[in-house]
Amino acid sequence: MTINVVKKIDDLVKVRHLLVSVSDKQGLDYFIPELLKINPEMKIFSTGGTYNKIKEMLGANAALCLKQVSDYTGQPETQGGLVKALDFKIYLGLLTETYNESHQNDMARTESVPIDMVVVNLYPFKETVSRQAVTVEQARGNIDIGGPCMIRASAKNFIRVASVIDPADYEMIISKLKINNGATSLKLRFDLAQKAFEHTAVYDRTIADFLVSRKLEDVSGCYAF
């Protein structure tokens, strides 16, 4: 396998396209309007309940900047939100490199756009398994798949993309964007990537520890055969 080596990047990257899909919606009513004040031409892609929350928050202005991921990708969400954002156009937008001609050709071919910031937090697995008498099936249903994939993809591409996983960082990020005229700096993106990978590592460790703590009888007792 040939590994692509990037030799040119931008320190400052304007946030023009934003992907938002969060379980914890705390702080969105501050973060999204502030982002739009800084970059009024920003386009927001979102899913499920997060889309509905942002649409309600923005009112009539939502039509100008907000689009469902399913409308962008052409693939409707599956039952229960099982698959929402696991799509080629999304991950091309997350992983594409600015000065890679092949990537840019793929973007044009698929009519995709580069996603500059991802705001994602995960299904509350730890909180779920902390409840008394939680079943393996209840725990399994709270294992997030798309969220960690988006976090990891955006954090891997910190040379261009900001990966935002903690509502406690919203105020700091807004402050940095104001200083840089709506752009993220390489330092900010790198710091966010460090936090993002720590977040997914702890998340996966929590899942692994829970499953190790259970016996096969605990699992099989949840299902009819």
Domains identified in the chain, total number: 1
In this prediction, residue 110 carries a pLDDT of 94
In this prediction, residue 219 carries a pLDDT of 73
Return the bridge partners of 43, or none. 17
Is the residue at 5 inside a domain? no
With b for 16 or more beta-carbon neighbours within 10 A and e for fewer, the 57-96 pattern comes to bbeeeeeebbebbbebbebebeeeeeebbbbebbbbbbbb
138 or 175, higher pLDDT: 175
With 70 as the cut, is the pLDDT of residue 23 above it? yes
Is the residue at 4 inside a domain? no
In this prediction, residue 190 carries a pLDDT of 98
With 90 as the cut, is the pLDDT of residue 216 above it? no
Domain containing 103 equals 13-220
Is the residue at 66 inside a domain? yes
For the chain, give the mean pLDDT: 92
Task: Please give the single-letter amino acid code of residue 135.
Answer: T
With 70 as the cut, is the pLDDT of residue 206 above it? yes
With 70 as the cut, is the pLDDT of residue 1 above it? no
In this prediction, residue 79 carries a pLDDT of 62
With 70 as the cut, is the pLDDT of residue 161 above it? yes
Encode pLDDT of 34-68 as tens digits.
999 999 999 999 998 999 999 999 999 999 999 99
Q: How confident is the model at residue 164 (pLDDT cuts 50, 70, 90)?
A: very high
Is the residue at 8 inside a domain? no
79 or 134, higher pLDDT: 134
With 80 as the cut, is the pLDDT of residue 77 above it? no
Q: How confident is the model at residue 83 (pLDDT cuts 50, 70, 90)?
A: low
Is the residue at 124 inside a domain? yes
Is the residue at 81 inside a domain? yes
- Residues 6 or more apart in contact with residue 2 via CB below 8 angstroms: none
Say whether pTM exceeds 0.85.
yes
Q: How confident is the model at residue 86 (pLDDT cuts 50, 70, 90)?
A: confident
Q: Which CATH number does the domain housing residue 202 bear?
A: 3.40.50.1380
Going by C-alpha positions, the residue among 65, 27, 67 that lies closest to residue 45 is 67
